[in-house]
Amino acid sequence: MLRIIPQSVHKIAKEQLDIQAISIAETLSKAGFETYLVGGCIRDLLLGKAPKDFDIATSAHPEQVKSQFKRCRLIGRRFRLAHVRNGKEVIEVATFRANPAKQPLNSKDTRQGADPNEADGHQVSENGLLIRDNCYGSVEEDVMRRDLTINALYLNVTTMDIHDYINAIPDINAHAIRVIGDPEIRFREDPVRTLRVIRFKAKLKGFRVNDATQNALQRALPLLSEVSPARRFEELLKFFLTGHAQSSFQHLIDFNALHYLLPVTAKYLETANSKALYDQALINTDDRIAINKHVTPAFLMAVFLWPTIRELKIGYMNKQNIPSFIALQKAVTEIIEKQNLVTSIPKRFALAMREIWELQERLPSCSLKRCEAIVQQRRFRAGYDFLLLREECGEIKPGLGDWWTEYQVATIRKKKELISTRQKNKRKQRVEKK
């Protein structure tokens, strides 16, 4: 039953809202479309947090949204969305969706409200997995298409009233994470919802997953194998590039879900004595995001796969008696192929990962010519940071990282001195070993 909460009760001020989101919502409302700010932005404001994104839901179909804005792009096939751009800011506008129809795969949605621009409005596979969900409906139906109650509040920017159809506010007040509808069915429709539950549990500290959702989630996790590797990679990034990477990693472990995103990492952790490398990398990631510094997915993926690659490289060296660099390349190829079966890594990231790993072999080089060439490499900074991380976590002895830190700012004369000293030390170490 709809409950309308006036501004005098919820206390969210219009000044707390994004100016561009307000403008877009008002434009659509004036054009005759029912329009709201929706989802996580309302939840965060009620929790006293500053939202990172403001999303809009409307009765306007994607093409109708596009007709209202010059800088609007329609994206997605499974879920058709409009992205309205203003400067660097992008506001996502979604059309109200209807309740799922039990249509067979490849059937066409001919119900009233289906977008004429979509050949297949709504498709469901035989086991209940939503293949496409572009069948549009009313706001009341749209509520039931959302995943969690805490993400299903609608704010009218004209009246500043909040519309709560499913007792979302009591769940927010109780810090409860609950799936809308039957969790068994909802997870079967889209297994990625299991990951969303885990992600919000990691993000919203102090929130708990209600029992029905928790039990259904554990049973539904194997369904993630039906999700495409490309989509699973997208979901993986959401865990680690939104400011709560360390918490997300631990929750994936706790929920026994890491295997469905990072099987190589999960298998390594079964026998590893420490996950310090992962934890420190994720702490550093969260710190960088907190101060709006860039984070590359390639670096994180390099971290996640490195311990297994390192072990495999050593195994190749011992069994096949091949040089370290060749063994590394063999290990890298094998592990990336395995990971791509689960989360397809874009080629630009896979290439960067290879360069980061290969720099771990090249950074101990000592000749002036080699050092200068290494510093000029595009991935040098990432490889250098990776080296520092390995030292910080005790994987390798400290010293090389400090040497490269000094080398980067040294004069040519000082660089020669540094290289000469390092060469002498290496010769001394070889003599002592004999």
Q: Is 6 buried (19+), middle (13-18) or exposed (0-12) by CB count in 10 A?
A: exposed
Q: Report the alpha-carbon distance of residue 398 to residue 365 in Å, rounded.
A: 16
| Distance set, CA 330 to CA 181, 189, 298, 315, 320 (Å) | 48, 39, 19, 11, 11
Of residues 76, 78, 194, the one with CA closest to residue 125:
78
Which DSSP category does 218 fall into? H
Please give the DSSP secondary-structure letter assigned to residue 99: P
* Token pair of 413 as six digits: 């004369």
- Asked if 381 contacts 404 with a C-beta cutoff of 8 angstroms, the reply is no
92: left (phi over 0), alpha (psi -120 to 50) or beta: beta
DSSP symbol at 356: H
Instruction: List, by residue number, the catalytic residues.
Output: 53, 55, 147
Instruction: Determine the Cα–Cα distance for residues 112 and 420; give it in Å rounded to an integer.
Output: 78
Rounded to a whole number of angstroms, the CA Rg of the chain reads: 26
CA–CA separation, 358 and 338 (whole Å): 19
How far is residue 86 from each of residues 23, 42, 70, 146, measured CA to CA in Å?
11, 21, 10, 27
Q: How far is CA 193 from CA 92, 145, 275, 394, in A?
A: 19, 12, 27, 37
Instruction: Say which residues have a Cβ less than 8 Å from residue 100's Cβ, sequence separation at least 6.
Output: 122, 124, 130, 133, 145, 189
- The secondary element (H helix, E strand) that includes residue 420 is helix 412-433
3-class DSSP state of 353: helix
Does residue 139 contact residue 33 with C-beta atoms inside 8 Å? no
**Cα→Cα distances 409→378, 383, 403, 404, 415, Å:** 17, 17, 11, 9, 9
